[in-house]
Amino acid sequence: MSVQVEPKKLKWVGQRVRRKDGPEKVTGSLKYMTDYQFENMVWGRVLRSRYPYARIKRIDTSKAKAYPGVICVLTHEDVPGFNGFGIVIPDQPVLCHDYVRCMGDAVALVAAETEEIAEEALQLIEVDYEVLEPVTDPEEAIKDSAPKLHPSGNIHSRVHVKNGDVKKAFAEADVIVENTYYSPRQMHAFIETEGGWGILEEDGSLTIRCPGQYAFRDRLQIARVLAWNPERIRVISNPIGGGFGGKDEITVQIYLALLALHTGGRPVKIHYKREESVIAGIKRHPFKVTMKTAAKKDGTLVANKVVAFGDTGAYASLGGAVISLAIEHSCGPYYIPNVDLEGYCVYTNNGIAGAFRGFGVNQVCLAIEQNIDMIAEKLGMDPIEIRKKNVYHQGGLSSMGHRVTTSVGTWKTLDAAENCELWKNREKYKANPSEPWKKRGIGVATSFHGIGMGFGLPDYGAATIELLPGGRFLVGVCSEDIGQGNGTVFAIVAAEALQCHIDDIDVIQGDTRRTIDSGTVSASRSTYVGGNSVLAAAPFMIKLLKSTAAEIFKIDVDLVELRDGKLWAKVPVEGKNVLTYADIYQYLYEHRRETKVEGHFMVPKAEKQIGNNVGMPHHVYGYQTHVVLVEVDTLTGETEVLRVVSIPDCGKVINLQGLEGQAEGGAVMGMGYTLYEDTIIERGIFKTTNFTNYILPTFKETPIIETIPIEEAEKTGPFGAKGIGEVVMIPIIAAIVQAIYDATGVRINHLPATPERVYKAMKEQGVIYRG
Amino acid sequence: MRVSEIELVSPKSVIECLSYMAESDRTVRLIAGGTDAVVQMKEGKGRPEVWINIKGLKELRYIREEADGIHLGPLTTHTDIARSNLLKSRAEALAEASWQVGAEQIRNMGTIGGNIVTASPAGDTIPALYVLDAELELQSLTGKRRIKIEDFFLGPRRTVLQKDEMITDIIIQPQKPNEISIFQKLGPRRAQAISIVNVAVKLAMGTEPRQCLDGKIAFGSVAPTVIRAKKCEAMLKLGTLTDEMIRQIGKTAWKEVSPISDIRASAEYRRDMAGALLERGLYRLMKRWESR
């Protein structure tokens, strides 16, 4: 049973549809969960570690407990169940009892009448530490001499993929380049810092209102710590003031739950200040990537050898998966027959790293794209030509050695890049810098990103559709809207399938009581999985509508036709021969019948796993090419991105406005990663704790961004759609670095390419102003 | 001191404010735009027992030209300055500096008086005030004194201002018809950032092409306070300001500065950038002069 709509008859899919949540978000009328205050509320605060690495000798909370206005003080002794959390391996203590392993570690919780009293009470908690030497360099961390931060050692995971004969290929190659690349510890910098509410309800159940990216998994993690039946916990995780992966892992949900059990039913609120968010929250993994790439004279790539170290900080979170995805994508969307790809995910005392838009691919994209540019330069080849020559096509083999049977748009995105106005007129654009000491350059790069969880990992979606009074529909998908606009996507898919106006669709997301489990909001998956889930539910709704109409018409269901959003009797009947959805609702309501249906969807998988690497390969990928124009001030090293052409292949576009929003936001986030952003940690201590020194691009740095979608329809996707949330920020990284090289002749292999780094490189290479 | 327990008083006049400052037995601090004071308060630094809120003292917010110079009230906001036609034509460096302070919201709230008394070596308006020969009127209940801006700063966040004194007037010398000025700032991004280095330059031009009769140069963020670059200033008068001459003057700047390394930049980069910004500023000034 499925819904078929002829492409040319699509009414909503592919149009520029205004975000359903747009008006209240842009006018500021929407209240986020952390905006609320309640009369009888109490404030919760978290005591953090004083050192990046230390042994806890003693914790004394007596003074804090006795302090006026304090309601409770909790330590590891107050954790009723399992004292740990973590999506893959729960190795992060909820409240530390023996060691602290980073500055973000939580040691105690306080609830108090006011935020100030809670803050003061934290100061009264006495913790005696034995200070230990922190482990801060991943390469040092894996040596036997390094202190072991976890019983299993400091290597959290190792990924290795080997195909062909790398040694022989390098020996026979015509060109070889080898470079080492360093990437920054980017922070998510969502507007709404981590926070929320915990409320012990009168019936003894617990409600946690906390922005997150997977309410059902958050609920399981809370239940494990409380040793509670998860059904007694309700998690509400929508709306969210930005996620980008930073709210994929548990943030404050468990603290809220523990405190709520000790406040006598009063609602407890935690809302991090920016500084606490920076120190406690996860970050993007900084990588060191050493990559050696070889080609034949004609530009055919023949070998790639990669060693990547990812610094996951004190705890695993999704670090293992990040390294795995990085290795899977480390050869780019190309076919390279001989590869030896090795990745290490290493524990240190440098904060905690985890999920972040791009999930490891950002770091390796810089390496492979730069190496390819250097090969092209050595061979005198055009950068687009060499890429077109080496990309894999649908039905072909990837560098992982698996056959990619799903849609592949790389070649077309490169072709569009070659034919875009900016690229065709690049010499003209470069010839006229705004001041004589400035130099302009153009860069191009391409990348890809897996959709969903990959081989061996359960990946599943579900949706409900409920017929409402007046013939409206309520579409429920638990997967939250973290800013990307997936709620509007679900509404478009539903409106298309149910032949109704988009304004007649309401969407509910992120509530374990009112929606059913549809998996995470991560891995660029919610359009593909959520959209397919809505499409799986729609036929059941149509069946309900038709069978009810047949009952009213008193005819066989086969004689009922759904056309133009109404139900028609194909044969003469008593009374009117057409029924609206409102009529159907009225009939069902009067007969006390169910008006809600469910649809379920299993994400298809590739045929076989790559080695024994869990999650590898993916079945469906989104593809993306970027072209950028930059201007570098040779006096200061400042780089300005003037223009960006973003060419995504996301399969069929569901919402053109949404796609452009993602493409523009992704471009700016990628620009920030390349030029400005880095959370600096020295000897385990955070040096950039707020936006004074953590530099984000603002509107002033935002260039003109043009989006040219390539719609390489994927037959397993909803209406042919794939996913786009992450890849839109990836190749721009390498494209900017390449453009800086084109402008100045210096290659920046250590990001961000701050004015100081660019200037220093120019100075070392003698690039000077010649006005 | 808890933030919630700090008192706030709002005097109706300068005299009332000065009386309060002189007579209060509690620790007091003035607060105007609050763009620095509030940030410090949140960090637990400089929390007084009483805030004296002077935001409402309209008598301290003005821009007017008088016989002895242009007078600016200390409560004049950066937006006021950046939008003033008088300052845009006769005190270009100051109007440009105010335009580059923070973001729109900060410029709407932040005041020039606040930027001065905060006494950050990176304060954006201060180099401009140096080259425009600014003087400050400091007033207490017992009297007034007038001092040159260059004598006001003792070190980072330290000034000669006494506990019972406040700035009540800022007097700058407007540019004469043959004078031009400019403010240049290097931050980690194009706007809304603390300066890594900044520089203000004012030149008096002669009748010959690119003939400079006199000039003043002041750098920020490269020493414990804003400093004048007197060797570079002397070089301005050595001959025609050709591109080559400008380059040489820029190169000399590193001898004038003594920066430190911090999270924003290394000392070495700051030193090179002092020269680069001066060079860039002089190129741009010459272009501006030649297009007049």
What's the whole-number mean pLDDT along residues A664-669?
98
**Interval A548-587: pLDDT, tens:** 999 999 999 999 999 999 999 999 999 999 999 999 999 9
Backbone angles phi, psi at A463, to 5 degrees: -145, 155
| Domains of chain A by start residue, with CATH | 7-30+460-602 (3.30.365.10), 33-132+194-271 (3.90.1170.50), 287-454+608-764 (3.30.365.10)
Sheet holding A473-476, edge to edge: A505-508, A473-476, A460-467, A596-602
Assess whether B45 and B64 both reside in one domain: no
**Interval A272-281: pLDDT, tens:** 999 999 999 9
Assess whether B21 and B45 both reside in one domain: yes
Assess whether B162 and B66 both reside in one domain: yes
Under an 8 A CB cutoff, do A636 and B276 touch? Answer: yes
Assess whether B49 and B62 both reside in one domain: no
Contact A641, A674 (CB under 8 A): no
> Considering only CB atoms, which chain A residues are within 8 Å of B182?
none
Instruction: Label residue A4 by pLDDT band (50, 70, 90).
Output: low
Q: Is the pLDDT of residue A769 over 60?
A: no
> Considering only CB atoms, which chain A residues are within 8 Å of B269?
756, 759-760
What's the whole-number mean pLDDT along residues A424-430?
97
Long-range pairs, A33-40, Cβ under 8 A, ≥24: A33/A195, A33/A196, A33/A197, A33/A209, A33/A210, A33/A211, A33/A236, A33/A239, A34/A192, A34/A193, A34/A195, A34/A196, A34/A211, A34/A241, A34/A269, A34/A271, A36/A197, A36/A269, A37/A269, A38/A267, A38/A269, A40/A266, A40/A267
State which of B147, B172, B197 marks the end of a domain: B172
Predicted local distance difference test score (pLDDT) of residue A605: 94
Predicted local distance difference test score (pLDDT) of residue B184: 98
- Per the structure block, which two tokens stand in for B69? 């110079």
- Per the structure block, which two tokens stand in for A658? 């949404």
Q: How far is CA B260 from CA A636, A681, B119, in A?
A: 18, 19, 17
Residue of A nearest to B280 (CA): A635
Extended strands (E) in A250-374? 268-271, 287-295, 301-313, 338-347
State which of B13, B31, B53 marks the end of a domain: B53
Under an 8 A CB cutoff, do B4 and A640 touch? Answer: no
Interface residue B192 vs chain A (CB under 8 A): yes
Contact B111, B62 (CB under 8 A): no
Q: Taking every pair of C-alpha atoms in chain B, what is the biggest distance, in angstroms?
A: 64
Q: Which alpha helices (DSSP H) does chain B contain, by range?
A: 14-23, 37-42, 78-83, 85-90, 92-99, 104-109, 112-118, 125-131, 230-236, 243-252, 267-290
Alpha carbon A303 to chain centroid, angstroms: 30
Interface of A with B in 652-711 (CB under 8 A): 675-676, 680, 687-688, 692-693, 695, 697-698, 700-701
Under an 8 A CB cutoff, do B264 and A676 touch? Answer: no
Orientation of helix A731-744 relative to helix A361-379, angle to 10°: 40
Q: Is the pLDDT of residue A698 over 50?
A: yes
**Collapsing DSSP states into helix, strand and coil, what is residue B272?**
helix
Assess whether B137 and B202 both reside in one domain: no
Contacts of A152 (CB under 8 A, 6+ apart): none
Q: What is the Cβ-side half-sphere exposure of residue A508, based on CA atoms within 13 angstroms?
A: 15
**Interval A481-522: pLDDT, tens:** 999 999 999 999 999 999 999 999 999 999 999 999 999 999
Q: Is the pLDDT of residue A371 over 90?
A: yes
State which of B172, B195, B213 marks the end of a domain: B172
Euclidean distance between CA atoms A381 and A397, whole angstroms: 24
Euclidean distance between CA atoms B43 and B30, whole angstroms: 17
How far off is chain B from A58, nearest CA to CA, in Å?
A: 28
Residue of A nearest to B243 (CA): A771
Pairing of strands A505-508, A473-476: parallel
**Collapsing DSSP states into helix, strand and coil, what is residue A392?**
coil
* Residue B36 belongs to domain spanning: 3-53
Extended strands (E) in A619-765? 620-633, 639-649, 681-682, 685-686, 704-707
Placement of tokens 């005696």 in the chain: A128
Assess whether B159 and B204 both reside in one domain: no
Q: Is the pLDDT of residue A680 over 60?
A: yes
**Interval A160-184: pLDDT, tens:** 999 999 999 999 999 999 999 999 9
Q: Is the pLDDT of residue A770 over 70?
A: no
Nearest C-alpha neighbor of A303 from the set A169, A168, A163: A169
Interface of A with B in 81-140 (CB under 8 A): 114, 116, 120
Assess whether B197 and B260 both reside in one domain: yes
Within 10 angstroms of residue A282's Cβ, the number of other Cβ atoms is 26
Orientation of helix B243-252 relative to helix B267-290, angle to 10°: 150
Number of inter-chain CB pairs under 8 A, A vs B: 64
Euclidean distance between CA atoms B175 and B191, whole angstroms: 26
**Collapsing DSSP states into helix, strand and coil, what is residue A8?**
helix
Assess whether B150 and B255 both reside in one domain: no
Q: What is the mean pLDDT of chain A?
A: 97
- Per the structure block, which two tokens stand in for A447? 């990348």
Nearest C-alpha neighbor of B201 from the set B218, B176, B179, B225: B218
How far off is chain B from A366, nearest CA to CA, in Å?
A: 22
Nearest C-alpha neighbor of A352 from the set A679, A763, A58: A679
Q: What is the ipTM of this complex?
A: 0.95
Under an 8 A CB cutoff, do A635 and B276 touch? Answer: yes
Predicted local distance difference test score (pLDDT) of residue A3: 67
> For chain B, how many structural domains are there in total?
3
* Candidate from A640, A676, A763 with C-beta closest to B188: A676
Q: How far is CA B132 from CA A473, B182, B202, in A?
A: 68, 11, 7
Predicted local distance difference test score (pLDDT) of residue B191: 83
Give burial (CB, 10 Å; 0-12/13-18/19+) of A119: middle
How far off is chain A from B264, nearest CA to CA, in Å?
A: 7
Assess whether B230 and B278 both reside in one domain: yes
Q: Is the pLDDT of residue A151 over 70?
A: yes
Alpha carbon A318 to chain centroid, angstroms: 12
Q: Is the pLDDT of residue A771 over 50?
A: no
- Per the structure block, which two tokens stand in for A31? 């209240």
Interface test with A, best of B42, B101, B269, B283 (most A CBs within 10 A): B269
CATH of the domain at B154: 3.30.465.10
Euclidean distance between CA atoms A484 and A682, whole angstroms: 34
Q: What is the Cβ-side half-sphere exposure of residue B72, based on CA atoms within 13 angstroms?
A: 30
Assess whether B161 and B66 both reside in one domain: yes
Assess whether B66 and B105 both reside in one domain: yes
Nearest C-alpha neighbor of A520 from the set A582, A457, A567: A457
**Collapsing DSSP states into helix, strand and coil, what is residue A609?**
coil
Predicted local distance difference test score (pLDDT) of residue A6: 73
Assess whether B12 and B93 both reside in one domain: no
Nearest C-alpha neighbor of A606 from the set A415, A750, A451, A446: A451
> For chain B, what's the residue count?
292
Q: Is the pLDDT of residue A29 over 90?
A: yes
A536: which DSSP letter?
H
Contact A13, A497 (CB under 8 A): no
What's the whole-number mean pLDDT along residues A391-398?
98
What's the whole-number mean pLDDT along residues A517-544?
97
CATH of the domain at B47: 3.30.43
Per-residue pLDDT of chain B (292 residues; tens, 9 = 90+): 899 999 999 999 999 999 999 999 999 999 999 999 999 999 888 899 999 999 999 999 999 999 999 999 999 999 999 999 999 999 999 999 999 999 999 999 999 999 999 999 999 999 999 999 999 999 999 999 999 999 999 999 999 999 999 999 999 999 999 999 999 999 999 888 899 999 999 999 999 999 999 999 999 999 999 999 999 999 999 989 999 999 999 999 999 999 999 999 999 999 999 999 999 999 999 999 999 8
Q: Is the pLDDT of residue A1 over 60?
A: no
* Candidate from A437, A692, A697 with C-beta closest to B189: A697
Euclidean distance between CA atoms A721 and A733, whole angstroms: 25
Euclidean distance between CA atoms B275 and B257, whole angstroms: 10
Under an 8 A CB cutoff, do B280 and A635 touch? Answer: yes
**Interval A444-477: pLDDT, tens:** 999 999 999 999 999 999 999 999 999 999 999 9
Euclidean distance between CA atoms A17 and A22, whole angstroms: 11
CATH of the domain at B222: 3.30.390.50
* Candidate from A114, A687, A755 with C-beta closest to B263: A687
Euclidean distance between CA atoms B213 and B203, whole angstroms: 8
- Per the structure block, which two tokens stand in for B247? 């380059």
Nearest C-alpha neighbor of A529 from the set A457, A610, A632: A457
> Considering only CB atoms, which chain A residues are within 8 Å of B190?
638, 640, 698, 700-701
Residues of chain A with pLDDT > 70, as a percent, come to 99
